[in-house]
Structure 1
Amino acid sequence: MSEKPLPAIRITYCTQCLWLLRAGWMAQELLSTFGTDLGEVTLVPGTGGIFTISCNDQLIWERKRDGGFPDAAKLKQLVRDVIDPDRDLGHADRKTQKKTDPA
């Protein structure tokens, strides 16, 4: 009986643009939130303005396509939606709900 492998996050960042600190911060945020529910978070150096985040080879954020960089709450929601859609992210979810809830 084999267990399902844990999700793998891959953050590819541009070394020319000096985005290592941003990539590292995002990795830290994900590890702090999801902990042992993630199998790995990998930082991959690149060039040419690249900044992408994927989960299990599914692209969830691309700087050029999505218009910049996600904030921490948005990134956590995107990862959660791939690895555990029913998971409650607490304050990160409530912030989004307030914006969409007219009451």
Structure 2
Amino acid sequence: MLRAAYLAQELLTSFEKELGEVALVPGSGGIFEVRLDGETLATNRETKVMPEAGEVKRLLRDRIAPGRTIGHE
């Protein structure tokens, strides 16, 4: 849950004007997913490897703020 909270903070900081909210939904089995309008952008469901923050930020940026630079690009 700690990494999920960190990523939520990163997304809210990077996309404060574009995002209305970031929701953390507790579950079981160590599954982590990032969804936008019901579509899964990133998950560890099959690989069991947590997506990196930069990767998730790029995927989200490409959907909600294309062309915008984020952080260390």
- Regarding TM over 0.5, the answer is yes
Q: 2:14 aligns with which of 26, 30, 33?
A: 33
What is the alpha-carbon distance in structure 1 between the residues aligned to residue 45 and residue 68 of structure 2?
A: 28
Cα-to-partner distance string for 1:17-63 (whole Å, 9 max, x where unaligned): xxx11110000000111112101100001112211111111101110
Q: Secondary structure at the match of 1:36?
A: coil
Tell me which residue corresponds to 1:56: 37
> What one-letter code is carried by the residue in structure 2 that aligns with 1:36?
K
Cα-to-partner distance string for 1:51-101 (whole Å, 9 max, x where unaligned): 11111111011103355112221111011011122212242x2xxxxxxxx
Query: What is the identity percentage for the equivalent residue pairs of Structure 1 and Structure 2?
Result: 44
Task: State the Cα RMSD in Å.
Answer: 1.5
Aligned residues: 73
User: Moved runs in structure 1, 4+ residues, more than 6 A?
Assistant: none
Instruction: Give unpaired runs (5+ residues) of structure 1.
Output: 1-19, 94-103
Higher relative contact order (CA 8 A, sep 6+): 1
Normalized against structure 2, the TM-score is what?
0.85
What is the alpha-carbon distance in structure 1 between the residues aligned to residue 52 and residue 19 of structure 2?
A: 20
Q: Determine which structure has more spread, i.e. the larger CA radius of gyration.
A: 1
Instruction: Give unpaired runs (5+ residues) of structure 2.
Output: none
